[in-house]
Amino acid sequence: LCDCRVLSGLTDLILARVYSQSTIDELAKEASVPVINGLSDLYHPIQILADFLTLQEHYGYLNGLTLSWIGDGNNVLHSFMMAAAKLGIHLRIATPKGYEPDASVTREAEKLSKECGTKLFLTNNPVEAARGSNVLVTDTWISMGQEEEKKQKLKDFHGYQITMQTGKVAAPNWTFLHCLPRKQEEVDDEVFYSQRSLVFPEAENRKWTIMVRAAQKLYGTLLSCEGCSICLL
């Protein structure tokens, strides 16, 4: 509480990257300046805003795309689950057994999918998740503070590496996203450095989405690209 008040007096806006979602919730409740969730253990909204912007730039549209997540049921996935349906994006998810997304997030995502008329598919089979998809997405398997779990995770995630073989069951125009930093066990070099990879414009777009989000919070102005509903999230 004390830190919230101190920060409010020193800044016009707080963008916080924290471990616990409860910390963000407390900041938002107690701070007298706007608060942006830069990352928490439950959500990573800034990242998926950059991802959607990247896809909008590449395809020219979002509504009707199918996105496949192949990896851990983590904070980035949770943010995809909370936003994809609102943009008309079908979501296919593959996680190893025991690494599924949070149950409460899944229930809300199922509700949103029904309301928006999109498809939500969850499986433990990476190939099934990739089938017919326009976008293949993964993330680091070993997040901050999980270094001691590396050996077990590498075993549990065997078969989840994204390769050109994975892309053979995807849509002909499939692309690849990864929020970085990337490790080769998550995606091989052939995909990562290919023309299908959008990881470098994706990284740049974090800057633009943070700037727009900050302007929205500070000035109450909805800065939205023509024909793009990303900023409405």
List the catalytic residues.
Answer: 179
In this structure, are residues 43 and 66 in contact, taking their beta carbons and an 8 Å threshold?
Answer: no
Element (H, E) at 67: strand 66-70
**Angle between the 45-59 and 199-219 helix axes, to the nearest 10 degrees?**
120
Q: Please tell me the distance from the alpha carbon of residue 136 to that of residue 154, in angstroms, as a whole number.
A: 20
